Structure 1
């Protein structure tokens, strides 16, 4: 009895309904008018199969297929349904037509990695398959063939390998694999650009034959650590085919087998020659700076020594003058380079800060370790600049109320770790200590410097005491040059080797140090001296050889020392723009200007820019909305403070935020008027964002 496809259950697949709409009776029914038994069995199996399957029925190879096969051939369906295979596949797949002809003779075939083009020859739409073609028998006779398709795993793997090789070869980094016998087993194309040898030529070559004995000996320790299972990152000399010295950032990653044994290591090398040259140039500049300071110091010393010899009766006054003039000479020498140096640091730190934010959102996470190293190096350079400006009294200070006892207690763990277990640490803190009027960050740095000096004076162990107390100065010159008033005293007392009179006399001189070359800059005590004097305070040292040293800072008491009122905690402001405020940025350095503009846009502000004062005045005279002016102090021509005066003539009450790397007038009192504030370079993005938000919210 013939099967009526129209009466099949409704839950059959969509393909069964498509088949039912075609007249198969004339072509697929047997001579008795019934569906052949083999075809009925295949239909029940075929329609619900997950893989692309197709029946080629009869001598003409009539196509009957399932939903998966229909999805595979795309636009060729439904025309292919019921059509001879030669009509549909002949122009698309000659191998299939040939195999169909041989399959009619009763043989099964397997064809591997066949390229099926579904767009009549367009390679972009080609897909690779493994195919099997099996005869279908209805009794002894061959009634048709069953075609099964499966994506070729072998070809897919080969394609993925080709794509991965393409990506690795495109990277501007040496990427290779070295076995435990130190022979190359893989190299990317960048090796040819570096060494002049192709990856094929390098295969099997010894590492020493390529990089040379000098380079191999220099990294022998790192190779040993890697083969022992350690992930190693370091910098090393790398030879190049052009013969020029090259510096590379190397990364060795051990490769383990299934048992966890190291069989070799992957080698990644990045050219960092330009950065290395810049560091070398900066180091040479620093050495030149120290040499010039030493020469000027020696010249001044000779002059003053002659004056002292001629006037023994004025020795004390001459010594004070000598100290002050040496400080001034160094201040003039270092101040000139500070502005440009801080502009570069701001671009470096700000740019890296932005990259870190992108990485935190999931971008380029692999670069994080290098970003951290760059930020650390840049911050060390920034710290050196701050020290230079501090001892020259040119560093703008953020004076505010500081609880000195709380600061000492908060640093206790850091101080203990810095000193080591061989040194006893104790604190003698006055309970009713007045609050100090100081810069908290600079004060922390000063205290840590004193602790480190004390540690170096006690290599065999000893005791260190940190003491605080109140002091009322009644008469001028009672303590150094302090004016009468209330002060807070911070003392660091050690039981170390002490100082000779000659060392004590030179202790505050910049670049003077008793440490070996390369272990100290000689800026610690001079920085503390400049910081204390700039706050309106003073510093004294009492020391004798063998009897330890006591360094005492005198800091002005905060006006709240006369009040019992504890200031309220500052309100936390949201750094994002709230009302579409507009900010005008005036900065002559392109990198810093771009950084500040990028921060403003990221926070939701509308930003306007100008590279110098005259261009900014033109914008200020326009009808543009401007809620805040951000200006560098050291602009060419008209400086930032002059621009602020003109801006307030055009727009009374306009708030102004100054940014400065170095400006002598900015460090003086009276520079800022109400509605003005100042941020020192280099600054972090969060710090800048909060200062902008505070000003626009009226907190300053």
Structure 2
């Protein structure tokens, strides 16, 4: 218990027995104890109170430190005046009440402490958070207190005694300080500069983590003088000298040095600055500094110093003779002048004066106010003031400006500005070097127009080649179809000839479809249906077919590695490309020799025709012949559409166009290596893909052979629509024909369970087939949708969007095959 002052006289009249004579006189709480009726409490009348209770109360009331006493079996509450503010609104009723009732709101927190103290163990708590609610509302505060057992005169524990103090202000202040320090730390770490501190002796005591990022030093390495290890060895002596001198004098540290970058090992220029912090006596207690990157500025300053030194060497003698830079000014066609900070001409050459006079009608002289000379042309005056104001304050810069009367044809000048300094490095003006670039700009404009005209001419030439080639080949094909159809109309035509003419029409349609496919492949606009397949197996199967194409005198050799490799591409287009390259090889060998098909996996893509290569991996499929080779002059043209060296009627010139178009659209390329007179190798590069995951066999989907389907046909072309519905009805299906996407959606919405499948064209007016298919799939995810198209720009760019595709022109067999896997109504339930 703290030491308390001695008890004073109570002031009771002599001869009257005062039951509270043990209490010190004065004090609000002492007066309340005297007025309190104690007979109804467990303590009884004050005359019966134990000496231990009286003594403890007397000492507590006389102390200025906040205390309370809980005494007796009910732990009745006593306290001194210093404790009263802590009670708040409880102060009027707390005296003599059980301690638990007084502090019922925080009993969960202090109850265990009370129990521990009554068990004989004193407790000290520091900065305990409590909700005292002193004014009847929740109030968060922090308290430090000591609970001690209170003993009676027999040495038994009769209660507990507490000395307490509120620490809310300190706790809140420390939390605010921590928040401030955390805020400062985050601010420091986000600073592009590197803050640091050191003690009066120069030992680094803290630094931003950015120092470690820049230098690559370890977390403890920069402390003390370890930071010097990152400084360039040539800069250490000067840096240490400046640092040591400032530590001794207390002057601001300002030193430049090169610092090694941990990520590259290169050195960059840095500027370190620091100022001291002093105590009340003026003694330095620490240094606060920053390090900032000034490398780019250093390089710019170096370049500028070299330029200034060059100019100053040229003008030093002229300044002394009042003839500035005469040897430089008068031997150039450029317009040269210099201005001081007041816009007065320091110097100008004859070319500048002549051109200024020609443009503005005034001949300038040394000493003239250049801006004032333009007062009659406010727009030009404002323009000149803005440019020269920048030149007199900024570093060197260059711009192109137009001068003169805006209503007349005006010249363009390229203006180069640099600062002008005296021998001591002080800026005394700016220097301008102007070059007439009017003709150069006009030449560039004419060149751009010529290049555009050339591009247009090349475009029209390519269009002409395509138009002529397509017209020639299609007219040939149409001739066959037209003549065959005329012959088929003869009533007495034998059946054998009828079949021959019908086969001719069918074969010609296939050739026409192939021709359009080759054109689209060259333009990289065909609709690809890519899938992952084994290239080696595909080559092997195609090689079996090549014998009939190449002839008996050509031996086909297949070189395929044992390990499989896969690509993600359109297998049909791949076969076509392989056959086109093989046919070219056959023709180059004049029908005799060895044709090699070679496959290599995990190859890099080399640089081809000026295009940068890439590491891949790529699959390389080479077709190598022993033919006559390709002349160097012909080699750049072989992939052009309709370019061919074959005789008339022996080739369309679209085969290799299809190969390169397919390669490019599949993410690859084609390379050619040829030795005239010996051999040629075409190598097709395609991105290599991972092998597909093994799929479990589908035992649930059955073919729909013999099952009648109800099919919604969507086709805007009347002739094609009639033909399509006739084909489907001949196959045993029933059809509903919609002329566009909107009409098809109406049919679906009228009865969603009405159809087994949808067969739709892609290119239609209004809503296209792909957009319509997505709308139907959103409504009926399980309804099969098959698309058909001769060409679609969207599908050429984006693929089939996951829908099955039948290419036009199609046959009845192809349509039947497309619907073979569609489940009939008997499998999916009633419609």
Return the TM-score normalized by structure 1: 0.45
Which structure carries more helix by proportion?
1
Which structure would you say has the larger RCO, counting Cα contacts within 8 Å and 6 or more residues apart?
A: 1
Max radius of gyration: which structure? 2
